[in-house]
């Protein structure tokens, strides 16, 4: 795997450097991604708790590919890209969520397929929102998906498709859970 325990620091640096090179103020970027300026500036210092949805939003504001912001390398493949088991780009920013990007090397992609491993914790992570559409398919374990005021228990093989502009989140029940999410 491409796991790097200190990946959050280079992401924070890339965010700050890109904003500065585009001559955008922290307030401008924060406003476009729906954050307070204070919260945005905190991510420029330490991206360890930066939600994937916010990272996507920042990449969009900068007019760049999510992978480039995440890894510092631009996707190179057109037509197709192959990702072997265990060789996706891994980012661990939250102790309860482990993300592995599966199509990181495809140029111009309109969907973001990720395998997410959830570790049971004391409290679920804060709900997030983002544009597009989202699909989750449970591969292993049991998890809860919270969408707005609704909560659903999903077992291996179950799936859910939803509007991610609604506050949502997932958490493991009893044992670690693994699911495929595809975000458009």
Domain ranges of the chain: 8-71, 110-183
Superfamily of chain region 110-183: Jelly Rolls (2.60.120.10)
Distance CA 105, CA 89 (A): 9
Window from 20-29, 51-60, 107-116, 170-179 with minimum mean pLDDT: 51-60
User: CATH number of the domain at 8-71, out of 1.10.260.40, 3.40.50.300, 3.90.1150.10, 2.170.150.70?
Assistant: 1.10.260.40
Give the CA dihedral 121, 153, 50, 65, nearest 10 degrees. Answer: 140
pLDDT at 2: 40
What are the C-alpha distances in Å from 32 to residues 24, 57, 133, 166, 176?
A: 11, 8, 19, 18, 35
Across 62-88, average pLDDT: 89
What are the C-alpha distances in Å from 152 to residues 50, 113, 132?
A: 25, 21, 21
User: What are 140's strand-pairing partners?
Assistant: 178
């Amino acid at each position: 795997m491409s796991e790097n325990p200190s990946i959050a620091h280079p992401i924070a640096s890339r965010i700050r450097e890109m904003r500065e090179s585009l001559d955008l103020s922290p307030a401008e970027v924060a406003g476009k991604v729906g954050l307070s300026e204070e919260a945005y500036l905190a991510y420029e210092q330490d991206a360890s708790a930066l939600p994937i949805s916010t990272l996507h939003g920042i990449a969009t504001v900068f007019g760049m590919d999510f992978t480039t912001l995440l890894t510092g390398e631009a996707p190179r493949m057109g037509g197709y890209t192959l990702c072997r088991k265990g060789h996706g780009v891994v980012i661990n920013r939250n102790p309860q969520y482990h993300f592995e990007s599966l199509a990181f090397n495809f140029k111009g992609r309109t969907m973001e397929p990720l395998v997410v491993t959830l570790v049971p914790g004391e409290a679920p992570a804060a709900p997030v929102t983002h544009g597009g559409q989202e699909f989750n398919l449970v591969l292993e374990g049991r998890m809860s998906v919270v969408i707005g005021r609704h909560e659903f228990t999903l077992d291996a093989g179950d799936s859910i498709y939803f509007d991610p502009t609604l506050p949502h989140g997932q958490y493991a029940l009893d044992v670690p859970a693994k699911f495929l999410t595809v975000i458009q």
